[in-house]
Amino acid sequence: MAANLMNWLDERLGWRSVWEAIFLRKVPHVNWFYTLGSATLFLAVTQGITGILLTLYYVPDPAHAYDSVVYITTQLPMGWFIRGLHHWGASAMVILTVAHLLRVFFLGAYKYPREITWITGVFLLLIVIGFGFTGYLLPWDQKAYWATTVGTRIIGVAPGIGEWLLRVARGGSELSAVTLARFFGTHVWILPASLLTLLGVHLYLVIRIGISAVPEKDE
Amino acid sequence: MNEQEKKSYLQRYKEAKEKGVPFFPDIIFKDAVVSLIVFLILVALAYFVGAPVEERANPNDTNYTPRPEWYFLFLFQLLKYFPGNLEVIGAMILPGLFVILLLVLPFIDKSPKRHFRNRPFASIAALAVVGGIGVLTVLSVMEAPPPQEAVVVDHAAALYIKNCANCHGENIDVPPSTDLHQVIAAGTHEGMPAWGGDLSTDEIDQLVGFILSPNGSAIYVQQCETCHDQMVQAVGNPLELQRVFREGENYPGHEGVDVPDWNETLTTVERNALLNFLAAPDGQRLFTINCAGCHGQGVAFAGTEEELRTLISQGGHDLAMPAWKGTLSESDLDTLASYVTDPQSEPAGDVLFGQHCAACHGEKVPSAPDKESAIQIISRGGAHMTMPLWGNILTQEQLDALAQYTFEVSRGEGTGLGATLFVEYCTACHGQFGEGGPNPSLAGDIIPPISTSEYLTTREDTTLRNIIAQGQPNFGMSPFGDEHGGPLDSTQLDALVAFIRSWESNPPVDEPPIFQTETPPPTPEVTAPTSEPVPSLTGGQLYTIACASCHGAQGEGGIGPAFNTQEFQDQYDDRALFDIISEDHTATPMVVWGEHLSDEQIQLLVEQVRILGGAIPTEPSTVSFSGQVVPLFQAKCQVCHNSQTALGGWDSTSYEAVTTTGNSANVVIPGDMLNSVLAQRVAGTQGAIMPPSGKMPDAEIQIILDWIAAGAPEN
């Protein structure tokens, strides 16, 4: 019965070839460092889920952002937990992404034929940092406000276009409701969309080319 | 990497793959293990550490030391080495170059070597970068100022500034026996909103403490807030607070905590301020916390306030109550004890009490928790050995407040509840000070003052209570007792009676003299022509005020004859109508309008009677609700009468709400100016004038009156 169903589905979806290509592909013997990439992927999914849950209650407006975060943390059932996961997940994300990068670097995995995988990986790291930077402002507490004030000011030192860049980042000369809306929009729309796109390419390449083998001493 | 090398790599990789394992389940199992560990760590962090929230962002707080998230700290530190014009190097050029380097790395490093030992330069450089970032991060953490001391914020002061200072200014003078908590929670009726919905009980307590002792609040922040960051965690019980001061670090709650010797670090003044903050000098609450456990709702005391004060401060040790055992027989003792425990159960005790006790206790029977303790107290005399020496426990301010409150309660002047109820239910007709005024439910009737000593001495409490409970249907007063379908229960009735009774010895000071006179002018509403407050009224408005209550809003008749019949209209010509209205009708209750209205006004009434009879078509309403009335509401009413703060239960923000809300009745009754509270209040004919800031210009009042008279259309 089950087999019939599987066959029926396979005739229509071709899932077996997908399954074979992704899950039954042979992989060289690798060590535990090779789990860092998938752990990062797992975290990205966790951040996505907790982040979506947080947006149900978060209000991206200076008048209510802080109160909504306090509400999530103190009143909402399990709100403290979801926010705790998202908060610490952000740091873990940075750590794991960098660790993954170092693993790839030291094992020479960025070399032929995986150059593009590496480049997409570097962009993914930048996106993760972007997530951290934009997400930091959202609670609109003292730390958020002032860290973002100094953070965005750094953009302003760029010669010539610094002033303009600063205005773009803040949506004005000062941190304001526009800044918050801008950071929120970036955090929940622009960055996730970029992340998904690049992650798609990254994973496609990992599966297509295969995960690199641990180099022998003579390699 | 040349073609040869590429080929050889691919070959090697192919072999490695063939010797390898399938992704599922081998690799995925390892991945799952690591992911699970990572997740568990996150759960632990979320559970044990949680996500911090600091104070709300304050753009004006320039003292805050900004720190970026930890993974940006190295960049932050790097900037310090590029001061001034060089900043751009640390901020832009180095990080930019580094990112570019990462991106082009595969194209720079094209050697086929993969093992890190075979490419020492790259490996060492990478280690150096990682190490450098690590060192910079550590330096940044070390150079950082010590973790910000918990920002010293006086929460109570902040609450006050946010919620109270706008109206009350920097501080408020509060009479000692005010139940300030109740006042804040329920609001008063002078435009102060009820805060009970917006502030928590703890916040209101903080506010009370702050209002009564602002210095104490500051001392609390300095001395206590490090540990007791919420005021709730500190006690509000004076006995316990004294113990905290006395015992220092030996106080059970402070064991193992490094607390100073409070008696040394704080001056007496400071200690008192702190005590006043924590247990605010608020008579009613002090009584509830400290006395109610033994004394119930009040105590009986017949002496002066000064004596009571001494008694409270000296406690039970020095009470001069004799030991009644021996003086009284066992059975008398028993009777008295029963009587004291429950006066209803032992009518005979009344006599005994009057003989032996009333001299000191007054007429009010002291309460005892049970018969046994009552017998003990009466037998032993000296009473209340357990009553503490409050003089050693309470601050001067607290003692004053408690003594005054207790004294007033003992005199039946604990009138807070009664006063509130009076404002809520009685002032509409009886005026704020019981001075009376025109009877809104009976045109032409004047309610006499109920606050004069003459009125009160001739009426017993029972009489007052019955009047309130059963109402006076003949005069339009509805029953207020819940037994008669009214809103007040027995306790509330008693409180109301007590409040009214308190006028006897203490007549209201602000009593307007006008209603004190023997013959008050009837129906002040229609004194318009002689005085000026009522704007010139149209015939319709005059009719509504003067005639509608007897003849019906549309002339359909009532106590008086109907106007809208052909018969009536034919019976009298205009001249006759004019005379009827202006002249005396001894046989009927009809008012002699000629004494109150000008000839022009009576002429208007005549025309109005003709309109109602159908002779003259009603002129169509020209007032626009959305165009004229709504802007007035927005400008004058909505501050207090909106969907959130609906003072008096009236919401002026939508047509629906305007016409359907109001505490005692709908504030707007279409077509009925006499009973529309809105008309009464804006015209000043009944109750306190609205808006409280002062009467609106006549033209604006006219708009509202016209609109109501026209049937309050939604146009």
Kindly state the average pLDDT of the residues A69-74: 92
100-129 of B, contacting A, C-beta below 8 A: 102-103, 105-107, 109-110, 112-119, 122-123, 126
Chain B: closest CA distance from residue A140 (Å): 5
Residues of chain B with Cβ-Cβ distance to A43 below 8 Å are 35, 38
How do residues A140-173 score in pLDDT, each as one tens digit?
998 899 889 888 888 888 888 888 999 999 998 8
Identify the pLDDT of residue B525: 41
How do residues B464-478 score in pLDDT, each as one tens digit?
888 888 888 777 787
Identify the pLDDT of residue B326: 66
Task: Name the more confident of A49 and B221.
Answer: A49
Kindly state the average pLDDT of the residues A187-201: 97
Chain B: closest CA distance from residue A91 (Å): 8
Identify the pLDDT of residue A15: 93
33-62 of B, contacting A, C-beta below 8 A: 33-35, 38-39, 41-43, 45-47, 49-59, 61
Task: Name the more confident of B640 and A123.
Answer: A123
Residues 6+ apart with CB under 8 A from B246: B263
How do residues B543-557 score in pLDDT, each as one tens digit?
877 777 667 777 777
Residues of chain B with Cβ-Cβ distance to A89 below 8 Å are 42
Contact A39 B38 (CB under 8 A): yes
Closest partner residue to A147 (CB to CB) among B43, B68, B103 is B68
CA-nearest residue to A94 within chain B is B71
Q: Mean pLDDT check: name the lowest of A18-22, A88-92, B319-323.
A: B319-323
SS (H, E, C) B195-242: CCCCCCHHHHHHHHHHHHCHHHHHHHHHHCCCCCCCHHHCCCCHHHHH
CA B208 to chain centre: 12
**Measured distance CA(A24)–CA(A40) in Å, rounded:** 22
**Measured distance CA(A109)–CA(A115) in Å, rounded:** 9
Kindly state the average pLDDT of the residues B630-644: 74
Tokens (6 digits) for B622: 């020209």
**Measured distance CA(B367)–CA(B364) in Å, rounded:** 9
Task: Name the more confident of B237 and A149.
Answer: A149
Chain A: closest CA distance from residue B164 (Å): 20
Closest partner residue to B17 (CB to CB) among A24, A27, A111 is A27
Identify the pLDDT of residue B505: 67
Is A81 in the B-facing interface, judged by CB distances under 8 Å? yes
Is B93 in the A-facing interface, judged by CB distances under 8 Å? no
Do the bridges between strand B437-438 and strand B446-447 make them parallel or antiparallel, or are there none, so unpaired? antiparallel
**Measured distance CA(B709)–CA(B715) in Å, rounded:** 14
Enumerate the domain spans of chain B. 18-53, 66-146, 155-278, 320-383, 416-510, 524-612, 625-709
How far is residue B539 from each of residues B240, B279, B533, B543, B612, measured CA to CA in Å? 70, 61, 17, 6, 11
Tokens (6 digits) for B160: 């006050």
Confidence of residue B617 (pLDDT cuts 50, 70, 90): very low
- ipTM, 2 decimals? 0.95
Mean residue pLDDT of chain B comes to: 75
CA-nearest residue to A114 within chain B is B106
Q: Which domains does chain A have, with CATH numbers?
A: 30-141+176-209 (1.20.810.10)
Tokens (6 digits) for B562: 């109907």
Identify the pLDDT of residue B47: 93
- Examine the pLDDT at B361 and tell me if it is beyond 60: yes
Identify the pLDDT of residue B511: 44
Contact A157 B92 (CB under 8 A): yes
CB atoms within 10 A of CB B198: 12
Confidence of residue B150 (pLDDT cuts 50, 70, 90): very low
Residues of chain B with Cβ-Cβ distance to A125 below 8 Å are 102
- Examine the pLDDT at B513 and tell me if it is beyond 70: no
Among the four given CATH numbers 1.10.760.10, 3.30.565.10, 2.40.37.10, 1.20.1260.10, the one describing domain B416-510: 1.10.760.10
Tell the CATH topology of B524-612: Cytochrome Bc1 Complex; Chain D, domain 2 (1.10.760)
Confidence of residue B247 (pLDDT cuts 50, 70, 90): confident
Residue type, A70: V
- Examine the pLDDT at A200 and tell me if it is beyond 80: yes
DSSP state of A217: T
Is A170 in the B-facing interface, judged by CB distances under 8 Å? no
Q: Mean pLDDT check: name the lowest of B165-179, B185-199, B206-220, B221-235.
A: B221-235
**Measured distance CA(B229)–CA(B225) in Å, rounded:** 5
Identify the pLDDT of residue B606: 85
Closest partner residue to A217 (CB to CB) among B19, B39, B117 is B117
**Measured distance CA(A94)–CA(A148) in Å, rounded:** 18
Contact B9 A112 (CB under 8 A): yes
| B524-612 matches B416-510 in CATH topology | yes
Nearest CA-CA partner of B272 in B180, B394, B402, B156: B394
How do residues B668-712 score in pLDDT, each as one tens digit?
888 777 778 888 888 777 766 777 666 777 778 888 888 888 888
Residues of chain A with Cβ-Cβ distance to B22 below 8 Å are 23-27
Identify the pLDDT of residue B426: 81
Identify the pLDDT of residue B512: 41
Identify the pLDDT of residue A126: 96
CA-nearest residue to A95 within chain B is B71
Could you tell me which residues are beta bridge partners of residue B56? Answer: A141
Task: Name the more confident of B135 and B658.
Answer: B135
- Examine the pLDDT at B348 and tell me if it is beyond 50: yes
Identify the pLDDT of residue B223: 73
Confidence of residue A51 (pLDDT cuts 50, 70, 90): very high
Tokens (6 digits) for B403: 């003594």
Tokens (6 digits) for B183: 């006042």
Closest partner residue to A157 (CB to CB) among B9, B33, B88 is B88
Is B130 in the A-facing interface, judged by CB distances under 8 Å? yes
Work out how many CB contacts closer than 8 A connect A with B.
Answer: 234
Q: In this prediction, what percent of chain B has a pLDDT beyond 70?
A: 76
Confidence of residue A194 (pLDDT cuts 50, 70, 90): very high
SS (H, E, C) B13-78: HHHHHHHCEEHHHHHHHHHHHHHHHHHHHHHHHHHHHCCCCCCECCCCCCCCCCCCCHHHHHHHHH
Chain B: closest CA distance from residue A154 (Å): 6
Kindly state the average pLDDT of the residues B206-221: 78
Q: Mean pLDDT check: name the lowest of A70-74, A165-169, B383-387, B494-498.
A: B383-387
